[in-house]
Every structure is written in C-alpha cells, then in structure tokens.
A = this chain, B = another copy of it.
Amino acid sequence: MRDLLPVEKARREQVLEHIRQVYRSRGFQEIETPALEELSRLTSGQGGENEKLVFKVLKRGEELDRAMTDGSELADLGLRFDLTVPLTRYFASNHSKLPRVLKAVQIGSVWRAERPQKGRYRQFLQCDIDVLGDESELAELELITASLAALDAIGITNATIRVNDRRVLARTLNSLGITAQERAMIAIDKLDKIGLSGVQEEIEQTYGSEVAKSVAEWLQQTQEMSIPTELSWISKLANPSKVRFDPTLVRGMGYYTGAIFEIEHPSSSSSIGGGGRYDNMVGKWSGIQTPATGISLGIERILDLLGESEKDEKSLVLLVEDDYAAALKAQAELIEQGWKVRIEKAAKNTKAQLSELSEQGFSSFTQFKPGEKLDIRKLG
C-alpha cells in the first residue's frame, strides 16, 4: 500500500477524469459499492486465486467472543479483491431500481494480501466498465469502442486488443481430445512465459504425449487462423485493425463464458487491461440468469506509461508578508480571473521556497504588496 504525493495524485485524478468523461459520453453510468463484502461471498469460488488473498475483517463484540470460544470463523467481512464480484452482487441486490441493461462504470480500490514486491501493491485502483443484461454482441462492441476511446483521450493511441472466445477455445480443445479442460487452459495461458515446448510438456503430464503433440501442432498454426463466427462482430468496429483474434488467449478466471479481451501496449510488457463475458455470475447470487461482460483498465500500469502532467499555466504563488485580509481579497479576485492561487508566507529563503513550489506544479509567482499592482512572473 502506498501514499500518493500531491503531484502523483493530481496526475491520477486528471487521467481518471478524462476516462470518466469518455465513458459518461457513451451513456455508461458510474456506480459505487462498499469496500467490504460478506466474506462468504468473496470466498465462494468465483475469484480464482484472488480468493486466497482476501484481507479478512475480524468479527466484533459478542460474535467475536463466540467465535473465539467455539472455534468458528473469526472473520465475517472482507475487503473486495476486484470490482466484478461486488458488481454482480450489486446488480442482484438493486435489480428493481436499475435500468434493464446496466452499463456501469466503477472506479475504486481493491485489496489483495500479496507479499510486497516491486510494482505490486496491496491496495490498487481498478477502473471497470461492464454491461449487464445484454446478451448480444452490442455489449462487446460498446466495451471495446469505449475502452479504446478512453485510452485515446489520455494520449494512449497505440493500444491494441487481443480477443478470443471461451466457446471457441473449448471447441478447439475438444477437437484435440481434451474434455476436462481446466489444466490445459492453465498451460496454454502460460504460452508467453514458458514457450511452446513448455506448454507441450505440461499438457503431456496431464493428457499424454499424443494429445500434447496435437496441441503443439495447433499452437503453431494459430497465426493464420481466420476469425470464427462467434467473433464476427469484430468487423463492425469503427477501427477493426486495433483488434486482433488470438486463438491462444485464455485469461485466468474460471467464470468467463464467451468473448475475452486483453489490452496491449508496445511499451508495456504486461497487459494494460482485460476482461470478458461472464454470463453465469449474477445468476449465482440472484437466481436470475443475467448476461454480463466487462473490461477493466489497469490504471497503475497505464499511469506508468504516461509522463508527468504539464504545469498549469494559470497557477500562481502569492507571496505575502502579514497583511492576510488584503491577500485573501487579492486571491479571490485572481481566482475570478481564472487563476489558481496559493497564498504563501514569504520564507527567509524565498528562492528555495519558490523552487519547491515550482516542483509542485506552480508556474508563476508574485510578491504581494497591498495597494500595489501585481507583478506576475514565471517560475523556475
């Protein structure tokens, strides 16, 4: 977990505001769920490996005493590890107050109790869009169009999206003689890391050498495969060249049921976003089968790709002595004129003081003297 310094936080909020703006302009609606969910829901088998990383919240009062005595579960709540499980719970809980098709934006922190390591945080931000209640390809078309537009808006113009479909993948594995498919999917998911021979080895261990050989042969031909019917919607995108069919794309989560996506960028070694269709999860909570699909942007990685923001040209440090009343009045007038104005008591060493504030993003300064005209100068 980490603190965000003012300059980092300003950059983050600026990026999020652009993304929000794009999603809103496409009729997506922002929603919010609590950080804490019932622990039982967070460990019900929908979250894969993430379920092992839940921060658990201790029961309180008598319930804790009881648990300590009878040895039952000590925790009853947990911090969410993603925004998808809470979203489907939200949809089930608030169904009657929501539009039939919910196009949701969620920007929120999630928590995972990982061992601290470089570039991984135990609290990090996710930014998800999801369409619930639409089983048609329109949902996928909108998700992809909106995600690319959002990335465009923050200056990431050369992202591409790899697409596959779990049904296509299942059919392929079936045709290669694999019916219990989970371990095969886990192996293929590692293609980037362990290479063709590594995948072949893992497949062989579970399914035998003949199957492994067929899988290897298939993996060697995937470059030339044409887009299957399930993914024919790709051609309806305004810019289909940004999207590439990848028959080997798996994505980790067990809950995907249809199209799956992964967003790539030439300057990032890992994906900067991803998602897919998960038609069975809402039904699990509500009993009402509801189609659903979503894309999540990896905000931390996206911020790494972006440089620092430019200085605000209309930001001013107003150096004052002790006439605070007059300074407040001058500040109000400058704000009216569109300035951002920080009142700052002149330190002994104003040079160091101003250089510090220049690093904080302020572009100009002026020495305030009541009754005199302001002499605004550039900083740094």
A residues neighboring B (CB under 8 Å): 1-6, 9-10, 12-13, 20, 24-27, 29-36, 55-58, 60, 74-75, 77, 79, 90, 93-94, 97-101, 103-104, 109, 111, 113, 122-123, 134, 136-138, 141-142, 145, 233, 235-238, 315, 317, 320, 324-325, 328-329, 331-332, 335, 339-345, 347, 353, 356-357, 360, 362
Whether B138 pairs with A345 at a CB distance below 8 angstroms is: yes
Write the nearest CB–CB distance from A258 to chain B, whole angstroms.
Answer: 16
Do the beta carbons of A30 and B13 come within 8 Å of each other?
yes
Tell me which residues across on chain B come within 8 A of A29, comparing CB atoms.
Answer: 6, 9-10, 360
Contacts of A136 in B (CB 8 A): 345
CB atoms of B137 and A2 under 8 A apart = no
Q: How far is the CB of A331 from chain B (nearest CB, A)?
A: 7
CA of A79 to CA of B56, assembled, Å: 11
Q: Contacts A2-B34, A29-B10 known; A357 to B99 CB distance under 8 Å? A: yes
Roughly how many angstroms separate A331 CA and B26 CA in the complex, as a whole number?
8
Inter-subunit contact A31/B55 (CB<8 Å): no
CB contact between A141 and one of B5, B137, B317, B328 (< 8 Å): that residue:
B328
Given A55-B77, A58-B56, A324-B138: A26 in contact with B329 (beta carbons within 8 A): no
Copies of this chain, whole number:
2
A238 near B123 with CB under 8 A, answer: no
Could you say which of A6, A233, A317, A335 has the most chain B C-beta atoms within 10 Å of its C-beta? A6
- The list of the 3 closest CB pairs from A to B, nearest first, reads A27-B342, A6-B29, A1-B34
Given A58-B74, A75-B58, A10:B30 Cβ within 8 A: yes
> Once the chains bind, are B24 and A4 in contact (CB under 8 Å)?
no
Q: Which residues of B contact A142 (CB under 8 A)?
A: 328, 343
> CB < 8 Å: which of B9, B138, B324 contacts A236?
B324
B31 and A335 form a contact (CB under 8 A): no
Q: How far is the CA of A33 from the CA of B34 in the complex (A)?
A: 17
A338 → chain B closest CB, angstroms: 9
**Chain B residues whose C-beta falls within 8 Å of the C-beta of A235 in the assembled complex:** 325
- How distant is the Cα of A10 from the Cα of B103 in the complex, in angstroms? 14
A332 touches B238 (CB 8 A): yes
- Least CB distance from A196 to B in Å reads 36
- Please give 14 more A-B residue pairs, beta carbons under 8 A apart, in addition to A3-B32, A55-B58: A1-B34, A3-B34, A9-B29, A13-B30, A25-B335, A26-B335, A26-B342, A36-B122, A55-B77, A58-B74, A141-B324, A235-B325, A236-B324, A237-B328
Q: Closest Cβ of chain B: how far from A231's Cβ, in Å?
A: 14
- The residue of chain B having its C-beta at the shortest distance from the C-beta of A314 within the complex is B25
- In the complex, the answer to whether B113 meets A60 with C-beta atoms within 8 Å is yes
In the assembled complex, how far is the CB of residue A321 from the closest CB belonging to chain B, in whole angstroms? Answer: 11
**Which B residues are CB-close (under 8 A) to A12?**
32
CB A142 to nearest CB in B, in angstroms, measures 6
Quick one: given A10-B29, A57-B56, A340-B25, are A123 and B34 in contact (CB under 8 Å)? Answer: yes
Residues of B within 8 A of A342 (CB): 26-27, 103
CA distance A35 to B360 in the complex (A): 25
Which residue of B9, B122, B138 contacts A32 across the interface (Cβ within 8 Å)?
B9
CB-defined contacts of A341 to chain B, threshold 8 Å: 25-27
Q: Is the CB of A111 within 8 A of B36?
A: yes
A104, B9: Cα distance in complex, Å: 11
A-B contact pairs, 21 of them (CB 8 A): A3-B32, A3-B90, A5-B94, A5-B97, A6-B29, A6-B30, A10-B30, A25-B339, A26-B343, A27-B317, A27-B344, A27-B362, A34-B123, A35-B109, A36-B55, A57-B57, A58-B58, A58-B75, A138-B324, A145-B328, A238-B329
